[in-house]
Amino acid sequence: MKHLNLIAAAAIALLASSSAVLAEDCQAAGTVGTGGSASAGGTSASSVGTAGTCRTDDGTTSSIGSGGSAATTDGKAQSKTRINDNGDELKAQTKAQAVDKGTFSKSRTKTSTDGETLDSTTRTMSHVPGEKPVKNTTNQKIILPQQ
């Protein structure tokens, strides 16, 4: 519980210290987002990701978020999210998977922005032994106009 309180306090401090930018101040702006879910038998998995960028005279501001969940009646379920901040580039990836014997469902979302290009892709798959797997891919990509 102490870790949760520490994370919450850090998030509040980060939000309080960031400067707000009004949408009308953006010279170029964009948002992307994808999500998906898969289910088979007693398993299900979902993931979602979103990113936004605003370019002003003072620089570029970007944000990113991702999350997911998985559930199963009798097997194993897990989900994990990783977010990387590398200067001007933000990347997020969420993986969710549920397995019950040979039956499984999984969903993966990758989202990124480098201040000029925003991209999000979600891939889902579910499978029941003896049947053909069900797959789906959703992608959204935006390239902001040059100044």
Residue 77: predicted pLDDT: 98
Among candidate residues 48, 61, 52, 70, the one with its CA nearest the CA of residue 20: 61
Give the pair of three-digit tokens for residue 12: 């509040």
Confidence of residue 144 (pLDDT cuts 50, 70, 90): very high
Contact in structure between 125 and 134 (CB atoms under 8 Å): yes
Query: How far apart are the C-alpha atoms of 11 and 140, rounded to whole Å?
Result: 28
Confidence of residue 146 (pLDDT cuts 50, 70, 90): confident
pTM of the model: 0.83
Give the pair of three-digit tokens for residue 41: 């038998």
Q: What is the pLDDT of residues 86-114, one digit of tens each?
A: 988 999 999 999 999 999 999 999 999 99
Say how many domains are in the chain: 1
Among candidate residues 37, 29, 33, the one with its CA nearest the CA of residue 50: 33
> Is residue 7 in some structural domain?
no
Residue 113: predicted pLDDT: 97
> Is residue 120 in some structural domain?
yes
Among candidate residues 126, 86, 91, 135, the one with its CA nearest the CA of residue 110: 91
Q: What is the DSSP letter of 20?
A: P
> Is residue 51 in some structural domain?
yes
Residue 20: predicted pLDDT: 57
Residue 110: predicted pLDDT: 98
* Boundaries of domain holding 112: 23-143
> Is residue 10 in some structural domain?
no
Region of 24 please: left (phi>0), alpha (psi -120 to 50) or beta: alpha
> Is residue 14 in some structural domain?
no
Give the pair of three-digit tokens for residue 132: 């053909």
Question: Which residue type is seen at 52?
Answer: G
Among candidate residues 78, 63, 68, 48, the one with its CA nearest the CA of residue 140: 48
> Is residue 17 in some structural domain?
no
> Is residue 16 in some structural domain?
no
> Is residue 11 in some structural domain?
no
Q: What is the pLDDT of residues 113-134, one digit of tens each?
A: 999 999 999 999 999 999 999 9
Q: What is the pLDDT of residues 23-75, one digit of tens each?
A: 578 999 999 999 999 999 999 999 999 999 999 988 999 999 999 999 999 99
